[in-house]
Structure 1
Amino acid sequence: MRMRFEVLGPVRMCDGGVAEPSTGSMRRTLLAVLLARANEPVPVPTLLEALWGSPAEHGASRLQVHVHRLRRELDDPERLTHEAAGYRLRVEQDELDASMFTALLGEALGEPDPTRAAQTLRRALGFWRGRPYQEVDLPDLAPEVERLTEQRLLAVEELYDAELRAGRHDAVVGELEEAVHRHPLRERLAGLLMLALHRSGRHADAMAEYQRACQVLNDELGLDPGPELRALHDQISGGRAAEPAGRAPAPSQLPRTTGTFIGRDHPLSELDRIVDEITDAVPITVISGTAGVGKTALALRWARRVERRFPDGRLYTDLRGFGSDSPADPGDVLAGWLRALGVDGKDVPLQVAERAARLRSLLDCKRVLLFLDNAVSAEQVRPLLPGASGCAVVVTSRDQLTGLVVGDGAQRVELDRMGLDEARLLMKELLGDLITDDGAVDELIERCARLPLALRVAAERVRRQGHHGLGRIVAEFSSARDRLDLLDGDDPQARLRTVFGASYRHLSASEATLFRMLGLHPGREVDACSLTALAGGADVRTTHRGLAALARAHLVEEVAGKRFRLHDLLAGYAAELVDTTETAGQQREALRRLCDYYLQATTHATGFLAPGALPPRAQRFEVPPMRDHEDAARWLEGERELLVRLADTAEGAFDHYAVGFAAALDVALDFGWHVDEAVRVHGKARVVAARTGDRDGEVMALRGLGVAHLRRTEFGKAHRLLDRALELARGPARTAGVLLGMGELCMATGRAETALEHLHRSTRLYQEAGLPLLALRPMVCLGRLHRRRRRHRASMECLLEASRVAAEHRHPPAEAGAACALAALYRDLGRYEEAAEQAERALVLARRTRLRSLEGVALHRLGSIRRCQGDHARAWQAHLAALTFARQVRSATLEAMTLTAMAETHGAMGDAEKATRCHLHALGVAGSGSGHYARARAHTGLGDLHEAAGRHDTATRHWGTAARLYENVGAPEAADLRRRLDEEITRSLPC
């Protein structure tokens, strides 16, 4: 005999014989927790918490003892296994009473014959012996106990509902009275008892039961009876609840359900809520969503779940709104429904309005569910709506049916594509042990756009190929266009092209053009301005209206910021339509318009970041509104990936766009610290510009490429590129830009005097060219260089002037740069409050305007200032933020500087060991070829720590290394260390 486990009462198990309670409270608790999550790994901390209230010391070994004892009581010790995620108890469905009960309940709920349903429910209730998990009181089990208890009450209610439908009202009155006594607040039980009494000829007792229910609900909960109990009272008092002899059976037209339905808990609960909350009108629900998303399956699952609430019938029709056939005529649907409700064919009215009125009359005072599948419009649905509040209507459509929502009080449930977890569960259900690679399943799910229809077709293809099918299908699905071929199933209704095409055919000509252009657009998310340019549209407002129509038809998804996107399968379908509708020349011209639009918009946005850096472009297209630097920075960051791709992929007749986009993106890529993208974009632009003889384009590409290598601390490459740019540069503005890069490079490599010369000249040339705001960048660099050389007065003059001009012109990049540099200057001068204020200001400005190149430095500055203020907690917070940022942008220099600052904070807190580790880590990050200042500071700090510990020789070696590093970059700190070394040598000499 099989092993048997019981939890619907005291926890028991047996191996063939009579079930006995598990001996020992610990083992019983262990068994209960494992059974509550049967066939799933239960983490060890969860078990320790259940057994001892906390992960106690030596808890794991004590747990193993109880696991070992429990294994000895099992028929097979291998049932209880240990794996990385915890302990797993293997239990078959027919071995656990709770699983058997749940399975029988589900079987009964789907059984149309009331006698067989009642028999099945009595078998299910026979498993119960008391409270679930009796004698085991654990908070973690409370949800499972509550779930099982609720299922038991549902089974009791369904049992007596089935008995009444079978005509056994006399036989169950006594049982119902006992059930109502045990559960006096269950309104459905009270209603069933009222109905049984009434049908048994005990009308007065039925009315008395209603009064009793009212009193109990009012006394216990302060509530009146719900709409269903009140409606039943009205029917009984009006004599309409008894079933007359010879009554025609209630129509039950719901289609057959599919074998597998997974998830969708939220939309199901939304459907429940709508029907529960609306009491004085007909609840109408529109389930809308894209093709293949599972609208019909959801509506049918819900309808099956609640059909017992509509004992007078369930009417269904396929309105064929998006099929290959013509949409269903409401008059024909009404005629069919009237006949189903008992109207003789010869008595069906001829006019649609009369048929609709007859339907409303027949449904008055009845509880009928009307399921309208695949509706195309509100006009198609309206004649089919009942007037009785006891009825409910559920409509599915690919359109949002706004007319029904606005004009008829319908509520909409938007059904989105499946979540990843839901899709995984569906594939597990469909494929079972054919799943050998979870990663491959996830890849297949995404390639099917998480559409249930596509997932089912793909799963069928995997099943046909057996255990090797999953990997093959994933490989075959790599191409978006091939995917549509592979997802064309044998059933025409299950072909993705068929269901997508049905939606496409309902579009107007202009809407269809927009949909096709979405398939041509290279971006994943599209705004109306770019789509207008691509489609050659007249104006953006018209495009907005077209996109709104596509969204209503669920052919496009609206995302944040009035942007739109197609999922992968729809994108592949739209791309196919482009190839079959637009010629190659038309497609080229559309893409040329798109590139011109993006160049115009990028140039416009860059004008806020660096006014005057680029000559203005002709205003051919309407671009998104940009009021200030913040708007422009946000737009550039949002479109950056696409703009870089356009520059990267510009070939043939389009290759000149590589130069244009490199120039337009230069400032944004540098400010945003997108170094890898800058190398790609400027590298390609350099090749194209040199080949086509575009000297200005080559200078800008060389300068941008040189600065990118500078950010990577590849100083040799940066020097060669900037030198070549300086040779080719013509005009003050171009020369000034190159000199700014040369000045920054010289600062980084310790050539301070040359850096001063380049930066002074860059500032002067920008001013001569009438570009005062561009002159602020070299001016701020001059201020930083003067501070580093301890020329504090000169630094203050440069930075305050830059800050004044930037504020006067409301230019955030320069304001942020000056504030960050002033923060360091004030810190060096011991003016910590002013330093903190400037650092905070720089951080706010950098984040608001997406100046990532400055954000990390501001965080680093703030950490060191907080340490100087003695606020170690806030210093540490800033250090960690700066370190995280440095690793995100892969800046070894900033990471090393931050680690040395963290070491200094550890030292200030008296933790020499952690300070030493941080300094050593900083040396490892900085390497030997760059990061001179960070390495010098780390060696200085290590020397100080060794000196404090009495290790004078080691301290001297570190100080000597630091002095040499500082000397390499001409830093004044070298002289300080040399004096300290001289003092150390003098002190060590014999008297």
Structure 2
Amino acid sequence: MRFEVLGPVRMFDGDRPVALAGALRRNLLAVLLARANDPVPVTTLTEALWGEPVAQGTSRLQVHVHRLRQELDDPGRLTYVPAGYALRVEPGELDSAVFAALLDDAAGEPDPGRAAGILRRALEMWRGRAYQEVDLPDVGAEAERLTEQRLLAVEELYAAELRAGRHEVVVGELLESVRHNPMRERLHGLRMLALHRSGRHAEALSAYQHAREVLNDELGLDPGPELRSLHDQIRAGEAVEVSGATQVPAQLPHCATDFVGRELALSELDQVLDAHPGTIPIAVIAGTAGVGKTSLALRWAHRVKRRFPDGQLHADLRGFGTDTPVEPGDVLAAWLRALGVDGKDVPLDPAERGARLRSLLDGKRVLLVLDNAVSADQVRPLLPGSAQCAVLVTSRDQLNGLVVGEGARRVELDRMSRDEARLLMKELLGDLVTDDTTAVDELIECCARLPLALRIAAERVRRHRHRGVRQTIAEFGCAQARLDLLDSGDPQASVRTIFAASYRNLPAAEAALFRLLGLHPGSEMDAYSLTALAGTGDVRAIRRGLAELARAHLVEEVAGKRVRLHDLLASYAAELSRLTETPAERREALQRLYDYYLQAATTATGFLAPGALPERKPAHVTPPMRDHEEAARWLDAKHETMMRIAEAVDGEFAHYAVDFATVLDTALDFGWHVDDAQRIHGRAREIAARSGDREGEGVALRGLGVAHFRRNEFGQARRFLERALELARGPSATATALLSLGEVCVFTGRTDTALEHLRRSARLYQEAGLQLLGLRPMICLGRLHRRWGRYQESLECLSEAARVAAAHRYQPAEADASYALAGLHRDLGRHADAAEHAERALVLARRTRFRFLEGLVLHRLGTIRRCLGEYPRALENHRATLVFARKMRSANLEAMALTAMAETHAAMGDDMEASRCHLHALGVANSGSSHYVRARAHAGLGDLHESAGRHESAVRHWETAVRIYEALDAPEAADLRRRLSSDITPSVPC
């Protein structure tokens, strides 16, 4: 295939043009080519094609993707990956990439005549404007970059021609180029030089006057210093050389000489450079204040700067400091000047500055270091377009937007290890370390292995060398808070004193708010929770107060209008609260905060599981939640804070542990927070049993049962769920317990009991008026029917569930139904339909943060790709599932992924790798209760042994598989038994 974008967008299969029917198809191809070989998010594509997210945008996009695939020489070129759709373009197939490669060749060609010839070949590729007839914002930036690249190529062409002595030949061409590009000072200069070298000195001086008039009329500016200097040289009759030299910036600040350790982080940064050739290496060093992010960044930057001979750019974005964060446009202006752009020529529009920077960096090896970034939005405008550049960002924020959207790799910088802290103390204290290594270790722990605290403590030791380390520890009071440890009485080295100076300058209202922050159990706080804590009801007043605290640098602002305190500030705020507020005032504030979180969590859970919880009286102002995505996002962000509350409450507040376990139940399961679920439900069960709260105990038991089920601990799960069913009161609680118990029965081979539980669960939900909650048992029934080959019943069940879910815009059930339909269509041989259902399920699962389902969909999509014969894509899905499973610590899903990988390798004829994967899957499955996966692995190994002529070994594996399948009441048992008895070799399943 060939693709052309240097003019109207065109596509060729060999020499045959491929017609692009309709503007939408052409625009889709244009967006994909603008990011060739990189995934483009579905939302980006739908917004590009229709201007905004539209109803059923994903399904409409899939139609156009399917049709575009049919027009490609290989449909596998256009693939769907978790990050979006990616169009594979091989080297030499895209004219803009060939153009860029020719420019690189010309830049490396020492002979100017040959360089000019290469540049002329490159420029002859242009047939008009880049991406002509495509008017899309997502393509506009790339078109602008290419246009700037073309103009630079024109300038380099004539500079090469002049260096080759062809000044008389190009005078006329330069005149034409100047007419078309009157704002390009370098073209004016090259024309002047060509005229001057041709002996036409008067015309050269006249050309300068013309350039001056044009620039003055159009921009109100005089020519820049280079053009003025050239004019003076020509007027003086001096010989003038053609200069193509550019400035090489070297902006890295000094690196601390006493930097130690961090070898793992340095190694991770090294890996970023070489991880994915062809993409821009972007690394984000993230960590708390005082952890040494800047020191690490500068250490690494100095270590690798020789790999970037075209320079190093640096900017302190001041995202977390005493000043306002730097605007990206200001950084761009400074960088352009550092790269040789005259200040008068720096564009006024930040977007134009970004485009100019990308053009200047194209093909160059430059390292960009962005220190102290506040957000991904602050960084994005500063990113280069060339994969030969690299970007290093430091921030107290996680910068998830860069990681997810731009493919950045985050390097988490934690507190120093003990060994690293010892090395630092040895560097700072010298011989004092060897005097008493045990005391030094105690000092390190007193400082919590935080580099900033270690340096302050070391300075204190050095200042009083005669006392020794141990006496210094005794003075600090190692058993007390870190504030006491670092309160040396010296204003220059006392954290408490520094905080106090800022605190004393606060107005009374802001001072009270700061003290309340010390009571908040969360690591991050928003205005809504703090409004409840303060008992004011005025969110705007709290926001104004937080803004004042941020200006006083007593809180850190983070994305999403939240604030946080690092540990030292949190300790100081809590200390002030204990000294100022009465115990009764603190209790009342905490009660308001707990009630607020229960109210907000109940509202959010209403989107995840409509009707599962009784409504609470709205006593507090809560953040707006307009749809499931907002609710899931809020629960995902706040569940950790609520967990802390549930684990900490006691005495008169102990009942809150039961309340929070109840409201978080669905969110913890959807988000695959299995460990959290076991902890909170375990404590809730204990408290509920102690207080005689049978309803609360039943909810906790059901939550524990589900948690054990997710860990494949089926025996414990069934015991907890059966007891929960006994304690259930009312149709909703009974239906929920039956649903979970039915799911366990499905997995343990109790099919008849599972059918009974699931049908009763669905019926009870309907009787209680909870139609949407009733979709889940309905979908489970559909999956069970499919498993037993009752395909029509399964289709009716699942289609109805999908219809109801879509009609009510209940996305979790839509995702679950789409996942189940994908399996059904796969089993029916409708593989294209199966893939569409699976892709939709994956989008919905991710959008709704339904992590448990996301992992299963990734697995199913891989099996469908295998059925389609798309083995490389199937393996990509298997590997993605494997990574996901290990991240979620799911042994069952990990074993499933390994087994699926084995079956794909077997289908590809790679029996050795298939056997290795099956054996690995058995090792993982045997460590837990993944019985079905064990059976499938044994069946697969039997197939491999049989194909290798080892019949007896094959039979042993098949018989083991049959025994497990029969214990699970799985239909595969009968099929495998029949094939064993008839000596027919089983085929590799889809």
- TM class by shorter chain equals 0.5 to 0.7
Report the Cα offset of residue 599 of structure 1: 0.7
Deviations 1:10-43 (A, max 9, x none): xxxxxxxxxxxxxxxxxxxxxxxxxxxxxxxxxx
Equivalent position of 1:245 in the other structure: none
Contact (CA 8 Å) 1:440, 1:474: kept in 2 or not? no
8 Å contact kept, 2:735–2:765: yes
Q: How far did 1:690 drift?
A: 1.7
Distance in 2 (alpha carbons) for counterparts of 1:469 and 1:214: 75
Report what 1:461 is aligned to. Answer: 461
Q: Is the 8 A contact 1:291 1:499 kept in 2?
A: no
Aligned-residue offset at 1:887:
1.3
CA distance in 2, matches of 1:627, 1:741: 29
Alignment partners' CA distance in 1, 2:446 and 2:965: 57
For 1:839 and 1:530, locate their aligned partners in 2 and report how far apart those are by CA, in whole Å. Answer: 38
Q: Which residue of 1 aligns with 2:670?
A: 671
Match of 2:658 in 1: 659
Paired amino acid for 2:750: R
Is 2:840 the counterpart of 1:819?
no
The letter for the 1-side match of 2:668 is L
Partner in structure 1 of residue 542 of structure 2: 543
CA-to-aligned-CA distance 1:432-464 (integer Å, 9 cap, x gap): 465689997996697486558x83344423775
Q: 1:896 to 1:420 in 2, by over 3 A?
A: closer
- Structure 1 residues 918 and 426: CA distance shift in structure 2, 3 A: closer
The secondary structure found in structure 1 opposite 2:524 is coil
Q: Map 1:173-192; keep pairs closer than 5 Å.
A: none
Task: Tell me the CA shift for residue 287 of structure 1.
Answer: 8.9
Which residue does 2:895 correspond to in 1?
Answer: 896
For the structure 1 residues 662 and 421, does the alpha-carbon distance in structure 2 shift closer, same or farther, using more than 3 Å as the test?
Answer: closer
Q: Is the 8 A contact 1:532 1:539 kept in 2?
A: yes
Structure 1 residue aligned with 2:777: 778
Correspondence 1:690-709 to 2 at 5 A? 690-709=689-708
Contact 1:462 1:470 in 2 (8 A): no
What is the aligned partner in structure 1 of residue 912 from structure 2? 913
The CA deviation at 1:472 is: 8.8
Unaligned stretches of 5+ residues in structure 1: 1-207, 226-261, 270-284, 293-413
- CA pair 443-871 structure 1, distance change in 2 beyond 3 A: farther
Q: Structure 1, residues 718-744: CA drift from partner, whole Å, max 9, x if none?
A: 122111111121211110001001101
- After superposition, where does 1:703-852 map in structure 2 within 5 Å? 703-852=702-851
Change (3 A) 1:446 1:601: farther
Give, as a single letter, the amino acid of the residue that structure 2 aligns with 1:622: V
User: Which stretches in structure 2 are left out of the alignment for 5+ residues?
Assistant: 1-228, 248-293, 302-315, 324-392, 398-411
Secondary structure in 2 matching 1:521: coil
Structure 1: how far apart are the matches of 2:396 and 2:707?
Answer: 41
- Residues 322 and 551, structure 2, Cα contact 8 Å, conserved in 1: no
Shift of 1:918: 1.0
Equivalence map 1:101-116=2 (5 Å): none
The answer to whether the 8 Å contact 1:551/1:557 transfers is yes
Matches within 5 A, 1:602-613: 602-613=601-612
Q: Which letter does structure 2 place at the counterpart of 1:663?
A: T
% identical aligned pairs: 62
The CA deviation string for residues 634-679 of structure 1, in whole angstroms up to 9 with x for no partner, is: 1111112111111111211111001100000000011111111111
C-alpha separation between the residues in 2 aligned to 1:788 and 1:640? 36
Q: 1:771 aligns to what SS in structure 2? A: coil
Alignment-derived partner of residue 138 in structure 1: none
- Map Cα deviations across residues 291-330 of structure 1 (whole Å, 9 max, x no partner): 99xxxxxxxxxxxxxxxxxxxxxxxxxxxxxxxxxxxxxx
Q: Deviations over 1:584-611 (max 9, x none)?
A: 1111111111111111111111111000
- Relative to 1, partners in 2 of residues 1:718 and 1:472: Cα closer, same or farther, differing over 3 Å? farther
Q: CA-to-partner distance for each residue in 1:101-130, whole Å, 9 max, x for gaps?
A: xxxxxxxxxxxxxxxxxxxxxxxxxxxxxx
| Structure 1 residues 964 and 524, CA gap change in structure 2 (3 angstroms) | same
CA separation of 1:863/1:615 partners in 2, compared to 1, >3 Å: closer, same or farther? same
Q: Counterparts of 2:675 and 2:317 in 1: how far apart (Å)?
A: 48
CA gap of 1:427–1:416, structure 2 versus 1, over 3 A, is farther
Distance 1:825 1:646, change over 3 A: same
Rounded to whole Å, the distance in 2 between the matches of 1:217 and 1:706 is 88
> 1:466 offset after TM fit, Å?
9.0
**Does the CA-based 8 Å contact 1:431-1:463 persist in structure 2?**
no
Q: Is the 8 A contact 2:749 2:967 kept in 1?
A: yes
CA distance in structure 1 between the aligned counterparts of 2:466 and 2:235, rounded to whole angstroms? 61
1:431 aligns with 2:448: no
CA distance in 2 between partners of 1:214 and 1:683 (Å): 90
SS of aligned partner of 1:526: strand
Secondary structure (helix, strand or coil) at the match of 2:983 reads helix
Judging changes above 3 Å, is the alpha-carbon distance between structure 1 residues 569 and 778 closer, same or farther for their aligned structure 2 residues? Answer: same
Which residue in the other structure is 1:512 paired with?
A: 511
Normalised by the length of structure 2, the TM-score is 0.56
Q: Which residues of 2 match residues 921-932 of structure 1 at below 5 A? A: 921-927=920-926, 930-932=929-931
Inter-partner Cα distance in structure 1 for 2:318 and 2:234:
36
Change (3 A) 1:512 1:909: same
Higher mean displacement: 463-472 or 704-713: 463-472
Cα contact 1:417–1:449 (8 A) shared by 2: no
Rounded Cα–Cα distance in structure 1 between residues aligned with 2:619 and 2:890? 40
Q: C-alpha displacement at 1:566, in angstroms? A: 1.2
* 1:797 shift after superposition: 1.0
Paired letter, 1:661: F
Secondary structure of the equivalent of 1:520?
Answer: coil
Give the 3 Å change call, closer, same or farther, for CA 465–728 of structure 1 in structure 2: farther
Query: Partner residue of 1:955?
Result: 954
Q: Which residue of 2 aligns with 1:41?
A: none
**Structure ID, larger Rg:** 1
* Cross-structure match for 1:410: none
Q: Indicate conservation of the 8 Å contact 2:456/2:493, yes or no.
A: no
Tell me by how many angstroms 1:709 deviates: 1.1
* 2:557 alignment partner, SS class: strand
Q: Kindly state the Cα deviation for residue 491 of structure 1 after the two structures are TM-superposed.
A: 2.8
Structure 1 residues 442 and 221 mapped into 2: Cα distance closer, same or farther (>3 Å)?
A: farther
Residues 917-975 of structure 1 deviation map (CA, whole Å, 9 limit, x = unaligned): 11111111111762221111111111111111111111111111111111111111111
Q: Distance in 2 between matches of 1:884 and 1:913?
A: 22
Counterpart Cα distance in 2 of 1:471 and 1:553: 35
1:557 maps to amino acid: E
Aligned-partner Cα distance in 2 for 1:433–1:222:
55
Q: Which residue is equivalent to 1:880?
A: 879
CA RMSD of superposed structures (Å): 4.1
Letter in 2 for 1:595: Y
TM-score, normalisation: structure 1: 0.56
> 1-side partners of 2:823 and 2:471: how far apart?
57
Distance 1:417 1:217 in 2: 55
Give the drift of 1:490. Answer: 4.5
